[in-house]
Amino acid sequence: MAIQSIAPDALAARLTDGGEIALLDVRDEARFLAGHPLPAVHAPLDRLLDLAPGFVPRRSTPLVLCDDGDGLAEAAAARLATTGYDRLLSLDGGVPAWTAAGRDAFETGYAMANCFGLAVEVCYGTPRIDGAELMRRQSAGEPLVIVDSRPVEEFHAATVPGAVNLPVAELFRAIYDHLPDTETTVVVHCGGKTRGILGCQSLINAGLANPVFALDQGIMDWVLAEGTLEEGAQRNPAPPSEAARAAAVRAADAIGRRFGVRSLSPDGLAAWRCEAEDRTLYLVDVRSREEYEAGHLAGARWIPGGQLAGCTEDYIATRNARLCLVDDDGARAKLTASWMLQAGWPEVAVLEGGIGGPDLITGPDPLAAPAAEAPSGDGGDSAPPSPEQVVKSYRDSIAWRSGLLDRFALDGTLAFALPPHVGASTKT
């Protein structure tokens, strides 16, 4: 299928003009990880028709497909055209032309997520602790609560021994039930950095009195300190107590005011729905899978709050779209909205009053794409890594991250909206 092409400089301009646009990289995983434009979301050709409706729900969105200049984008366009996408473009010359024009290519998955996590750490001075120090404190019997902030599947695969599974948005509520006093230290970890940083900083932003740290480099740092990983752990999140929920609602209200989180009335959401043919709307339920499947609003996607903020490119691709976040009491939605606003999403709102009402749909998310192995980075972890894999991943990630924020700043196709710098990261 012959489609119109767009030159690299013209694409860069479109990515920064404030309008809606989606950029999908349709190559296989190996070629995507070898280098891609920063805003590109990976949607390989063999899974494209499964992924596209979730990534780009409005069929008239300007949608740019990139490849290696080898015709793969045209093949992808032919498939998408059969499902109603009608504003399809290809990156002229593909990724090689993008780099030849002096634009950077990012050699990893979750480039945007990692950039955001590092920017949060630098902006807030998020406290860090390394694996050796955590091991020392654990061995000495110091009072600790270790939290794995990833989804339950990743937690079950491998975690720091003794960690409790509280994904980022759930952590915000449930932590109050896990702390015997205000002296106990909380250490939050993920597979790499981003969700650990977001979990840790969420607790700090909520005003938690306890000392809170992010485990530097996540489980990689633990293994490098010669720690073993626990497989098959079953310390899963439990419903928070009423006292914990009330504390989280109060904290979320304060966070919402601090970051200017907007409330959207049911009538306002109805108006956004009516405009969805002209403006993309992602209606996102940020609760747990069980809560979502027990009853959710029609048309709502299920994306846990921590995953939406920490692994955005797994779920949504249309830049400058509207986001309406939904939960039951506002706590998880407001926390998630605060991070999405800081990540640079311009129009984010929380549904006033939560899901409410009798007109709810039960069952799983119909747009949930078939699972695929996550690329390396702070995304999913399908199996416990070997020490050799961890060492290589750690060395590669340190070298890669050392200049990541500089590369992000120079790229210019995305911008965060973090508050003014408030401190320097400290490693304990």
Of 1.20.1070.10, 3.40.250.10, 3.40.630.190, 3.40.47.10, which CATH number belongs to 112-240+384-411?
3.40.250.10
Nearest Cα residue to 277 out of 84, 14, 129: 84
Domain with CATH 3.40.250.10 in the chain: 4-107, 112-240+384-411, 244-351
CB distance 326 to 348 below 8 Å:
no
What pLDDT, on a 0 to 100 scale, did the predictor assign at position 372?
39
Buried b or exposed e, range 409-418, using 16+ CB within 10 angstroms: eebebbebeb
How far is the C-alpha of 111 from the C-alpha of 117, rounded, in Å? Answer: 10
What pLDDT, on a 0 to 100 scale, did the predictor assign at position 395?
46
How far is the C-alpha of 188 from the C-alpha of 212, rounded, in Å? Answer: 8
State whether the Cα torsion 73-74-78-84 is positive or negative.
Answer: positive
Q: Is 69 left (phi over 0), alpha (psi -120 to 50) or beta?
A: left
Q: Which tokens belong to 185?
A: 């230290």
The CATH code for residues 4-107 is 3.40.250.10
25 Cβ contact list (under 8 Å, min separation 6): 32, 36, 37, 40, 41, 42, 43, 66, 67, 95
How far is the C-alpha of 297 from the C-alpha of 360, rounded, in Å? Answer: 5
- The CATH H-level superfamily of 244-351 is Rhodanese-like domain (3.40.250.10)
Nearest Cα residue to 23 out of 31, 406, 14: 14
Report the chain (428 residues): mean pLDDT per 10 consecutive residues.
Answer: 90 97 98 96 97 98 98 97 97 98 92 93 95 96 97 94 95 93 97 94 97 94 92 89 96 97 97 97 96 96 96 97 97 98 97 88 83 43 50 49 81 91 52
Single-letter amino acid, residue 3: I
Nearest Cα residue to 394 out of 215, 233, 230: 215
Q: Strand pairing partners for 346?
A: none
State whether the Cα torsion 397-395-379-50 is positive or negative.
Answer: positive
Q: In which residue are the tokens 């339920």 written? A: 285
Q: Which tokens belong to 234?
A: 């079953």
Q: Characterize the bridge pairing of strands 322-326 and 144-148.
A: unpaired
CB distance 177 to 401 below 8 Å:
no
Q: Widest CA span of the chain, in angstroms?
A: 66
How far is the C-alpha of 287 from the C-alpha of 284, rounded, in Å? Answer: 9
How far is the C-alpha of 263 from the C-alpha of 301, rounded, in Å? Answer: 19
